[in-house]
Amino acid sequence: MRNFRIFTAMALIVILMSAAPAAVMALDDKLVIVTSYPKDLTGAFKTAFEAAHPGITVEILQKKTSAAVKYIQETAQGNTSDLMWASAPDAFEVLKADGLLAKYSPQAPGIPEKIGSYPINDPDGYYIGFAGSGYGIMWNTRYLKRKKIPVPREWEDLKAAVYHDHVGMSAPSRSGTTHLTVETVLQGEGWNKGWALWKEMAGNFKMVTERSFGVPEGVNSGDFGIGIVIDFFGFSSQATGFPVEFVYPTVTTLVPANIAMIKNAPHPTAAQTFIEFLLSVEGQELLLDPAIRRLPVNPATYAKAPKEFPNPFTDKSIGAAVKFDVQLSKDRYNIVNSLFDVMITYRRADLAEAMKAIHAADAALAGKSNAQAQALVDEARALIAAMPITDADAKDDKFPGVFTSDVFKKRKKANAKVPPRQAEIEEQWDSFAKQNYAAAKAKAEQAKDML
C-alpha cells in the first residue's frame, strides 16, 4: 500500500509539472539559442535583447561546443533550436558539412570583411562572425613574483628551462580555438620548425587540460603560473579581479566567434532579429563589458572602449604577422589534432622528462665548450623535434577514410582497398614519439655525464 501511495503521489507530481509550462507557449514569441558561452555573456545579451524586443523570450541552452554540435546533430529530426552561438569556426564547419545550418546574410552596416587576416563571415554565408578573439599568453602575477620567473612575451620564450612545469594549455582536439593557435604557429614557423617549437614548449607544460576553461582556471587559482589561452579568458579573469595579465605574441591569429541559424529553425524571424541585434551598435557595445571582453567586429565600437583595450583595426601588430591559410588548416585538421594528442597530450610526461634532461645538459654545458656533449644535446633536440610524417603527407586526403570514414556510409565497392584504422596509425605515431623521447632523454643524460 505504501508503494502504491508513493506512486500516486509521483504520478500527481508528474501530471502537475507537465501541465504547467504547456499553458504559456505560443508561436514565434520565443527564441532558442544553443551556445557554449558562459552566463556572463549570454545573460547580458538576453536581457538587452528582450528589452529591445519585448514579446520575444530568449531561451538559452548552455552546452560545451562538442556537446552542442552532437545535440544539434542528434536532434536534427524535429529540430527545436534556432541559433548556434559559439566561438570555434570548425564546429560551424561540421554543422555546415552536415547540412544543418541555414544561410543568412546580415544587413547591419559598417562591418569590414576581415579581422586581422581572417574573413569575418563564412564565405558560403552559413555562419556570421560577431566578435574577434586571438590566442596569447596569460600569467598569474603573484605566482611569477613568488617563483621569481620572468614574464613571457613570445611563444619562443616559453621554451626556456625557467618555465619548466609552470605552463598549461588545452588540447587542439578539445577546443577549436586552441586548434587555430597550434595551426597558426605551424603556418607561421613552418611544419617542422613549428612542431619543434610546440614540443619544446610542451616539455614545459604542467598539464594539457581537457576543457579550454581549465587553463584560465589553473592560472587564476595559481595551480600553474602561465597559460596559453584565448584573449577573453585573460581579459575577463582580470576584470573579475584575479591577479593576472595577458599579452598577444607576434605570431597569433584573430579568429571570429560566430553565430548561425539552424536549418528548419522553429522561430526564424526571431533568430534573424537576434543576429541583427548582435551586430548592431548596441549589441557590439555589450562586448566591451568587463566580464565579456571580446573584440567587436564593428570598428566604430572601439571609440567607446576603455583605454587599454586592444583594437585590431588600428593596431596592425595584432594578428597580422601570419597570413592564415584557411584551406590548408582545413586540409590537415584531423591530422594536426591527432598528432598533437598522440605526441603531446598523452605523452606529456615522457616529453617533460626528456626536455628536463636536455635543460639540465644545457645548464651543465653553459660556459664550457665540449663539442661531443653539444653534439649529443643537438641530437636529443632533433629526436624531440622529429615528426612521423612530413609536411606533404600531412593532409587528411593522404589518409583516405582513416580520420573521416563514417560507419553509417557503407563502401559500395567490395574490392576497394581497405584503409588502415585510425587506431593503427596512431599506435605507430605513439611508439615513434615514445621511443624518440626516451632516446632523447638518454642522449641528454649521456651529455651531462660527460661534463
Nearer to other proteins, 32 or 357 (CB): 32
Nearer to other proteins, 307 or 413 (CB): 413
* Cβ at position 238, least distance to other proteins in Å: 8
Nearer to other proteins, 201 or 364 (CB): 201
**Quick one: 38 exposed, middle or buried, by C-beta within 10 A (0-12, 13-18, 19+)?**
middle
Nearer to other proteins, 141 or 390 (CB): 141
Which residues are CB-neighbours of 141 under 8 A, at least 6 positions away? 243, 244, 245
* Cβ at position 436, least distance to other proteins in Å: 14
* Cβ at position 320, least distance to other proteins in Å: 28
CA distance 181 to 104: 28
* Cβ at position 129, least distance to other proteins in Å: 21
Nearer to other proteins, 191 or 346 (CB): 346
Query: Is the CB of residue 81 less than 8 Å from the CB of residue 260?
Result: no
CA distance 216 to 229: 7
* Cβ at position 156, least distance to other proteins in Å: 25
Q: Which residues pair with 167 in a beta bridge?
A: 205, 226
Q: At 210, is the secondary structure helix, strand, or coil?
A: coil
What φ, ψ does residue 74 adopt, rounded to 5°? -70, -25
Query: Is the CB of residue 132 less than 8 Å from the CB of residue 112?
Result: no
Which residues are CB-neighbours of 71 under 8 A, at least 6 positions away? 34, 61, 63, 81
Nearer to other proteins, 381 or 441 (CB): 441
* Cβ at position 291, least distance to other proteins in Å: 5
Nearer to other proteins, 185 or 208 (CB): 208
Q: How many CA atoms lie within 13 A of 367 on its CB side?
A: 2
Cell of 188: 607561421
* Residue bearing cell 586548434: 179
Nearer to other proteins, 179 or 381 (CB): 179
* Cβ at position 91, least distance to other proteins in Å: 12
Closest CA to 231 of 287, 188, 185: 287
The residue type found at 362 is D
Which residues are CB-neighbours of 146 under 8 A, at least 6 positions away? none
Closest CA to 277 of 434, 18, 48: 48
* Cβ at position 17, least distance to other proteins in Å: 8
* Cβ at position 237, least distance to other proteins in Å: 4
**Quick one: 4 exposed, middle or buried, by C-beta within 10 A (0-12, 13-18, 19+)?**
exposed
CA distance 37 to 410: 37
CA distance 404 to 200: 30
Which residues are CB-neighbours of 197 under 8 A, at least 6 positions away? 155, 156, 159, 185, 189
Nearer to other proteins, 127 or 403 (CB): 403
* Cβ at position 173, least distance to other proteins in Å: 4
* Cβ at position 258, least distance to other proteins in Å: 18
CA distance 131 to 279: 9
Nearer to other proteins, 104 or 235 (CB): 235
Nearer to other proteins, 117 or 405 (CB): 405
